Copies of this chain bind each other. A is one copy, B any other.
């Protein structure tokens, strides 16, 4: 059923019906309720493409997730974030269009999205420290919000976790427990989140007067094997770390395996702090989290970013805003005081 059929059936003009349905004030209460009733009974739903064409608003938000290489899934973090944003959109009558882009420097994705009028705005995922997409989007003039941050460029809207502070605090916690040899198992540092985590870690070490030791730092894809192998290698060094700061729960599982294989016990001879991606999957070993979980933070971030974008679309000249989620993302797991073997 379309507007014409509905208005014929009601013996009213399309104009009046449209106005009644869209809550225009000038239509009488009597007709409005009559129209709304008939629309509901007939199961009338306006054709979104027609609305879109008539109003110039697509009522659709694009999410762009880069697929770095073909082995790269988009992470559960994105899924959670997007699922959360999706709730906001449907609440405000928007749809979500997902684009998986092959390459971060293929400008045609954004030019295409803008020119095709497919979306009113875009949320950008997985930003790099120096990300070519920023310039393209700014040039194209499509409203956008970044999930995360770039380190090149300015004047854009973003929502990010405070990765820097989270890792700084976690490092400080370990320092306060007496640790002096703290290993960092980080994600790839082209990604801003990893870059900032490392920066936070280094800052805390500097503040604590502890020299940075590159042998205690690693950056790679976040896999169990990576955690196992790197932690194993580090534990077999003559002067081994007494604590690990780990970028993801899955890596932490590998670290745990390496520790137990080395005959050590987490929380006794070695401490581990995890930046947890999926807290619900992680057995915390009875240790109370020092901070709150990522899960809810990511949901919150998805909500913030989607709201921010919708507002930006309403008011395109809005000053660039940003949200730095002050929820801490780090949980403590099996943290304990520095064992005797750590006297450096």
Contact = CB atoms under 8 A, between A and B. Distances in A.
Interface of A: 43-50, 52-53, 58, 60, 63, 65, 67, 71, 73-76, 78-80, 82-83, 86-87, 90, 95-100, 111-112, 115-118, 223-225, 228, 250, 253-254, 256-257, 260, 278, 280-283, 295
A228 B283 contact: yes
B74 A98 contact: no
Given A45-B112, A47-B117, A73-B83, 5 more contacts: A49-B49, A49-B118, A60-B97, A71-B295, A74-B83
Contacts of A116: 45-48
A75 B278 CA distance: 11
Contact of A98 (B67, B76, B86, B253): B86
Given A97-B96, A100-B86, A43 B257 contact: no
Contacts of A52: 49
30 contacts: A43-B111, A45-B111, A47-B53, A47-B117, A48-B118, A49-B52, A49-B58, A49-B117, A49-B118, A50-B53, A65-B83, A71-B280, A71-B295, A73-B79, A74-B83, A76-B79, A78-B79, A79-B79, A82-B98, A86-B100, A95-B118, A96-B98, A96-B99, A97-B98, A223-B280, A224-B282, A228-B283, A253-B253, A254-B283, A260-B260
Contact of A95 (B53, B87, B97, B256): B97
A1 to B, nearest CB: 8
Given A53-B49, A95-B97, A98-B98, A224 B283 contact: yes
A280 B117 CA distance: 38
